[in-house]
Each structure stands twice: as C-alpha cells, then as structure tokens.
Chain A
Amino acid sequence: MTPVPSSLFPYLLRLADDRLVLGHRLSEWCGHGPILEEDIALANVSLDLIGEATLLLKRAGEVEGRGRNEDALAYFRDSADYRNALMVELPKGDFGFTIVRQLFFSLFSLLQMDALTKSSDADLAGIAAKAVKESRYHVRHSAEWVVTLGDGTEESHARTQRAVDELWRYTGELFMADAIDREMSDAGLGVNPETLAERWNAEVGKTLERATLTIPKVGYMQRGGREGKHTEHLGHMLAEMQIVARSHPGASW
C-alpha cells in the first residue's frame, strides 16, 4: 500500500476549516435574517458546510492516526492550528457582506470540489462529489442575491459595493499554492488552487458585472491562514465556539 503523503493531513484541515468556520459564521444569522425565507436558506448553506467539514475532519483524523476524531479537531485546536483562509473568519457583517463572501467562497468551492472528485483518495473523492452538488446550489443562491442587491436600490448597491471592496483583498489567498498543495496535486490527491484562479475570476467578473458592481484595485492580498496566522477575529470566534466543550474535557454530549 502506498504511504499517505504527510501533507494530506494539513491539506484536509484546510478544506475542513474553510467550511467549518464559514458554516459557523452563517449560523450566526439564525433568527436574525432579513426575512423568514432567508433564515431558512442561510441555515441550509450553513448545514451543508458544517456537514462537509465534519466529513473532512473525520477523514483528517483517520489520516493523522493519533486518535483525534472530528470533535477533537474542531473543539480542541487553538486558532494557530486552524488552517482556514482569512476570508471565512471575518465577522458576518451585514447581509450584503455575508452574501458577497458566500458567492466568492462557493464559486471557489465548486471549482475545487469538482476537481477533487478525481482525487485518488476515495473518501475525499466521495466527499467532493456531495460538496459539488451543494456548492452549485450555493453559487446559484448567492449569485442571485448579489445581482439583486447590486442592481436594487442606491443603498443596496452602495452596501454591496462596499462588501466587494472589503472582501477583495482576501480573495487572493484562496488561489495561493505552497509545497503542501504541490505535493497533493502531484500525488493526484489534491488540486493546486492556482489552477482554479482563471475560471474563478471569469465567473465572478461576469456576476459582478450583471450586478453593476466594480472590482477594486488591490495591491497586496492578505494571507496567512494556511499557516495558522489568522486575524484577531478567529480567536474570539473559537473562544465562543469551543467554550462548553473545553469547560468539560472528556465529557460526552
């Protein structure tokens, strides 16, 4: 049996943490959405993402081989050990911010997961097949909203443009590759995110144009999440997320 590359574990954490953190941010809307139908819609996206994260963390724990299951990984890692991209840990902001971020991430996820359906790791390929279907729906939902808000009222246009302006500097990180990505892609296990950038930019460009929104000029793309160098936001988020589990170590729920 071929030995599993040591980079598979951190690679899986990146995939999982992106979805767990974003799913958690979305869940903060429950009961506070702009209208009942949207409370339900956002909860669906949140559940899809946390579900994907759970499967990915489970697989990651198996690969690591030190007896950590999905809950141990989710609730007992500090922010320095989280491997999500910075974009997903930012506070949820207003509805415009949430939905623009959702568009950016879902499109990335769709392209990434589509490629991963061909992963030589059978479990990852299986998870990816499910995630592709879910991401496709997430793109449809968030794109519809970005166009609606971008081309709605003056206020919605201003708010949505502001969201694009604030988020754009975090989008570059999604497509940055390092040694882990290259090793994964060489082994046929993972996908090099650089290969997704062109298609992503084309699709996002089309949607933003339909939404009458412009893409800001960004000099430096923020980064660091993949090495555990996060914004100040993640610490607060994890403190809240992990408090009950950490207050009762070893307990079952």
Chain B
Amino acid sequence: MTHQAPHPTTSSDDPDRVAAFEARIARGESIEPKDWMPERYRKQLTRMMSQHAHSEIVGMLPEGNWITRAPNLRRKMALIAKVQDEAGHGLYIYCGTETLGVDRHELVQQLLNGTAKYSSIFNYPTLTWADIGCIGWFVDGAAIVNQTMLAKASYGPYARAMVRICKEENFHKRQGYEIMATLAAGTTEQRAMAQDAVNRWWWPSLMMFGPPDSESSNSDELLRWRVKKKGNDELRQRFVNLTVPQATAINVVLPDPDLKYDEASENWKFGAIDWDEFWRVVKGDGPCNRERLAARNKAHDDGEWVRVAAAAHAAKRKPSASEAA
C-alpha cells in the first residue's frame, strides 16, 4: 500500500475509534496519512488545506500584476521571488492535501469551476505600487497570525508544510512594510499613494479573519481537532494590536475613526466591519472575482497542450524510463 491510498473507513464512524482518535489529538499526537481518521476529519482537512493552497495560487495574481512595473531592480527581483514563493507554498499544501487521497487535478478543477473557495482578499485589485507594500504588510501580516497557529496543526503533512512556509515568510514580512515605510517617508505623491493604498486595504484585511465567532459554522469541530486553535475574533484582535503601532511608526493613518486603545483589555478597539461587503465578495461580487478565475482558467487552458505533450513524451520513453535522459 502506498502512502497515497486512503485508509478504509466505515460510513458511520465507530464511536470507539473516534474517541481514540480524539484522545490522540488531545495528547498532542500528529495524525499521519496512513492513520485511521473519521471521514469528517478527512473531509474538513481536505477542504481547509485545498482552500489554503488555492489562496496562495490566486494570491499570485494581484501581486504578479506589478512585476513588470516594479520601480527598481531590487524591488523587481524581490517581488518575483515573493510571487514564486507563493507558488511554492500552494504547491507544498496541494501535495499535503494529496496525502488525504485526492489528486491535484481534481483540486485544480474545483478551483477553476468556481466550486472551491479561496481567501476573498485576493478579489481586490492592486491599483498602485503602494498596494504591493500594503499586501505584504497587511495580508502577509494577517496570514502570519494564522500560520503560526497552523504550524502545530494535528495533521502531520499540513503542519510540516506550514513550518516550511513560516521559514520563508520572514522574507515577505519585512518587504511589504519596508516598501510602505519608504513611500511614507518619500515625495508628496508617494505619501499620498501609500495612504490611498492603506485606505483601500485595511478593512478587507480585517475581513480576512472571517466572520465573527458567533456566526462561524465550522469552528467548534476544527478547534477540537486542533486544526484551528483560536477563534476568528481573537486572531483579528491580535492582528490589529500588532499593526496599529506599526502604522504609527511610519506615519500612515488607519482609516478607522473609532480606533481607540482600551487600557483595561490592552486591546486596540476598532470600528464596525461592513459584513455586507464581506459576504458580497465571498459570494462572487467582489471587484475581481471573475477576473481572477478567468486568469487561472486561461493559464490552465493555454497550458493544456504543454502538460499533455510532457505526458506523451514520457510515455514514448517508458521502455527506457530508468535510463538517464
């Protein structure tokens, strides 16, 4: 049996086995691909991991939009490397998802035909160079708040992919903030560019953490199975607390007149999020939903002849496949 074959499970999982499984998780053990797992755990993990992978891939598009216009050689290379890392992160997580018994071809189809979800932040457009700085600062910043938690996820392949990703994130983290700091200390036009980007990216970044805990359907199970360790609200608050002093340090204003430090809780209280906007974007009416999917479909369609040719060539070589090319 290869490591790809899913472990057979009964349609209604045996409660004793489920209890033993949950005890393993409670003990902090790592669940590996060949271990028995409830069918629901397999389904939830497949959904979570593939959604995460899809987000990395779609995330290449808004940032990739500025590669050809990056304003100096160092930024150009750094941006290409960052987008390349995102491709890599998507790849690591897709491979992790495949250990649960699904082929990447199927996962790709789900993204392309619109049935799979990805992080809605990537449905917003990048309109200026400053947007690249903002994405690094806010979006990667928010992702890091999530990721440090996921590096200890109960499913081994996911946790290991996350450890690898966290190591590479260090480089991304600094980049975005550095871009913003430079702009905010630059010419009048650059300062205006930076502030405009902040105004457009701040609220969508807060929405990245998902709906309030009171409205989030999947959370309890995921918390019990140690695939998610903190609620959306707590993570969102942590992100705000980290980011407010960073904004102050570089002299940009976060577009929230209700932002106020609360001594008692040691939290930066913030204003009301427009959840109508959130749901609208999630359901497909964000500024770039259609464009993102169209771009991914085009790349996939344009590339079909290449993928097929590679497979055809390999098939011709099969008799001597063990020989060096």
Contact = CB atoms under 8 A, between A and B. Distances in A.
Q: Do the two chains touch directly in the complex (Cβ atoms below 8 Å apart)? A: yes
A36 interface: yes
The 6 closest A-B CB pairs, nearest first, are A34-B303, A152-B309, A156-B309, A43-B84, A34-B306, A31-B60
Interface stretch (A6-14, A217-225, A245-253): A245-253
Interface residues of B, number: 48
Nearest to B57: A36
B295 A32 contact: yes
A241 B87 contact: no
Nearest to A51: B77
A147 B325 CA distance: 10
A149 B83 contact: no
A178 interface: no
A31 B299 contact: yes
A246 to B, nearest CB: 9
Interface string B81-97: 10110011011001000
Contacts of A96: 306
Interface string A86-117: 00000000111000000000000000000000
Contact of A47 (B77, B179, B304): B77
A222 to B, nearest CB: 24
A30 B81 CA distance: 10
Interface of B: 57, 60-61, 64, 67-77, 80-81, 83-84, 87-88, 90-91, 94, 129, 179, 182-183, 186-187, 189-190, 295, 298-299, 302-310, 312-313, 316, 325
Contacts, number: 145
A27 B73 CA distance: 13
A34 B305 CA distance: 9
A78 interface: no
B94 A253 contact: no
Nearest to A99: B306
A contact face: mostly helix, strand, loop, or mixed:
helix
Contacts of A159: 305
B303 A31 contact: no
A125 B312 CA distance: 42
B313 to A, nearest CB: 4
A151 interface: yes
Given A36-B94, A248-B190, A43 B302 contact: no
Contacts of A231: none
A152 B312 CA distance: 5
